[in-house]
Amino acid sequence: MFIIHDMVANACLSNPSEISSGSLGEGLNLPGSDKDVMYVENYFDVIRSISNIKYPIHRTTLVMETDIDHPGFTRLRCRAADVNVQKKCQCNLGTCTSKGWYLSVNNFLDSYKNLTYNTPLSMHGPCLSNRGNSFDIAYCLRSKYLPHDAIPWVFRCRCQWPPNFVIDRIINYGCLLVPIGPKTVSYNELLWRLSFSVAEKVLIHSFNFTQLLCYGLLKLVLKRIVNTHDVVKDLLCSYFLKTALFWISEEVDIETFQLSKIYYCFTLCLDKIIAWVTTCYCPNYFIPEHNMFLGKINHRNNKILLCVLESIKYRGIDGLINNLFPPVTENHHLSSTDKEFSLIMLDCLFYMTIGDFACMTALPIGISSYCKGLVMAKSLLKSETSTFIIDICKYYIAEISSKIAHKLPPPNTKGETYSIRKCYHTLLQNGIKTDAVSGWLL
């Protein structure tokens, strides 16, 4: 559903491009699951080193400079196609140092604070969030190259997962750069965090069913057991749990992830997390030198967290089930087998996400861009076999048709009247399929 959404949205948007992330974007709809949106600015070319520059330079180019003291972060040094463009970059977004001009995190974030949205948003770290924090919007940059720090990940020894075609997809995409520095540094205006959100989504979409269920189980344990203890609440986050599952999936035979062994797979991940908390070191999956516990878990607060995690382990599978799924009735079930109920839940999820994110950005979209989205939605409609996804494609066709109808000019001359009226009728007939009341009124 979210892959289709991104494809249609990006057909309409030339810049920035949209990426659905968060739990829902990954494919998990659990209580409290959120959908985050990342908007990737395409005004800059971000490269790994000077040797990647293709001359002549036509656009502003940013060179990633690895920070040895802060693995997982980088500085972006500005190089530009011409003096005027370089001056604009330097005046608006850059910061001058003794080594040259660098793209500033703070200046980059400030450029989005004053955008007008349909709902009040406030800064939450590197993101814009609504009042209830049910969704986040993050503006970032993309490099088509993996950073130097992540190159060893490509050649790392592993059992069977991830498969080679997944590794190739990740290499071909590169990485994202998010405007936030390390928590342990007071002055970090020039440090950008290397983000592998797209790579992680590709990895999760390559999971088998047991891996996906194990991921869901870990997230439920965090929400319904760990975070119910105020003294350790928010020390762990779902990203750490996902990282543990990635490491375990790489280290064991993929045949280990069978439905009959799901509790065993869960305990492998739990043991991994316990080991990390003991040493206060959580290695990033792509850049192991990056300790993601820095500024969060240390030897002053890890003891009580260890007690909580070890109690989960020692209670066994029965204790886990009773904590996660307390029986409401004697004949309780862990999941619903009612197909109709599942379809209703899917419909609710679709309209909820469409309602939250429709017209969120302040970016103007012209008729020609909407027409590209319409072509994309129609091509997807022909290629899909799922009834649910086909209906989603029809929804996008109707929604985009309505937006184009609103933007069409009124007929000015007698010669134009018939063709524009015919266009109006076609678009509005499509539009009333999703918006009957205002569609008919229009």
Chain center to CA of 19: 6
Model confidence pLDDT, tens digit, residues 280-328: 999 999 999 999 999 999 999 999 999 999 999 999 999 999 888 876 5
Identify the pLDDT of residue 420: 76
Highest mean predicted confidence (pLDDT) among 110-114, 206-210, 392-396: 206-210
Domain ranges for the chain: 1-206, 207-326, 364-441
Domain covering 207-326 in this structure, CATH number: 1.10.1410.40
Model confidence pLDDT, tens digit, residues 169-181: 999 999 999 999 8
For residue 200, is pLDDT > 80?
Answer: yes
The mean pLDDT value of the chain amounts to 84
For residue 361, is pLDDT > 50?
Answer: no
Side-chain half-sphere exposure of 322, counting CA atoms within 13 A: 6
CA distance linking residue 37 with residue 353, whole number of Å: 11
Q: Do the beta carbons of residue 428 and residue 402 sit within 8 Å?
A: yes
Beta pairing, strands 36-47 & 136-143: parallel
Across 256-263, average pLDDT: 96
CA distance linking residue 173 with residue 144, whole number of Å: 6
Domain covering 1-206 in this structure, CATH number: 3.30.460
- pLDDT top residue among 360 and 363: 363
CA terminus-to-terminus distance, the chain = 29
CA distance linking residue 141 with residue 196, whole number of Å: 12
